[in-house]
Amino acid sequence: MGLFNETLSGRWNEIIRRLHQVKRVPSPQIAPEIVHDITLESDRPEWHVLHGGFLWATRTAQAAVAAVLSFVGIRNPTGSGILVVIERIRVNNPGLAAGDYFIYASSQSADGALGTGPTFIRDSRRPQGSCPVLSLTGTNAASLGVGSIEELELEAATGERDFMSPPYVLAPGADLLVRTSAVNLPINCNFVGYARPVTPEELNIL
């Protein structure tokens, strides 16, 4: 049992220890007039790095391909040890043509991605190229999964729009895809989010 105002939880202990420059583990008692009131998943953006997390963003596009549906997405690789949160998804429409787009949750074995690419760190304290979150591009002749989560319709002459359903939380081994509604259409999306280390108990909640 911890002492008064002592934090033994590993995740929160690391933030408090580094914030106050405490040299020992676990953190000793903190002065009683200092109360660490942490709102889950609403920490200040510059604090993600204190517990091993990071901010990320990416833009990914798939050209139109005859007779197939195009998609882009985000992948949390199997065995990554992180939890990926997608906070915002924006569909860009450079051609200003009308079109519908769908969000699908998918497993890596089912999506048929043609390629993966890097995403980019939004905190200069972490080096670029160190982000394990991957962007996806691909095509598929059929629908993905058991049905779409959200549909977004772009009217002609509309340049860009955001989906309403984020945030999405991806455990290791999960993908989230955005697909066109018809064949032979291009797709271009921006994704923004953050990631943090995940503990085994967070993955076995059922």
Give the model confidence (pLDDT) of 165-206 as tens digits.
Answer: 889 999 998 888 888 888 888 888 999 999 999 988 888 766
Instruction: Copy the structure tokens of residue 23.
Output: 């040299």
pLDDT at 182: 81
pLDDT score for 65: 87
% of the chain beyond a pLDDT of 70? 70
Return d(Cα 167, Cα 164) in angstroms, integer.
9
The string of pLDDT tens digits covering residues 93-120 is: 766 566 676 777 665 555 667 788 889 9
| Cα–Cα distance measured from residue 190 to residue 87, given in angstroms and rounded to the nearest whole number | 11
Q: Does residue 86 surpass a pLDDT of 90?
A: yes
List, in order, residues 6 or more apart from 21 with CB less than 8 Å away. Answer: none
* CA pair distance 113, 9, nearest whole angstrom: 38
User: Which uninterrupted H or E stretch holds 113?
Assistant: strand 113-118
Alpha-carbon distance 163 to 51, whole Å? 29
CATH of 51-199, one of 2.60.120, 1.10.260, 3.90.550, 3.30.360: 2.60.120
Average pLDDT of the chain?
Answer: 79
Residue range(s) in the chain whose domain bears CATH number 2.60.120: 51-199
The predicted structure's pLDDT at residue 21: 73
3-state secondary structure of 200: helix
Binned at pLDDT 50, 70 and 90, residue 35 comes out as low
Question: Which pTM was predicted?
Answer: 0.76
pLDDT at res. 68: 85
Higher-confidence position of 71 and 33: 71
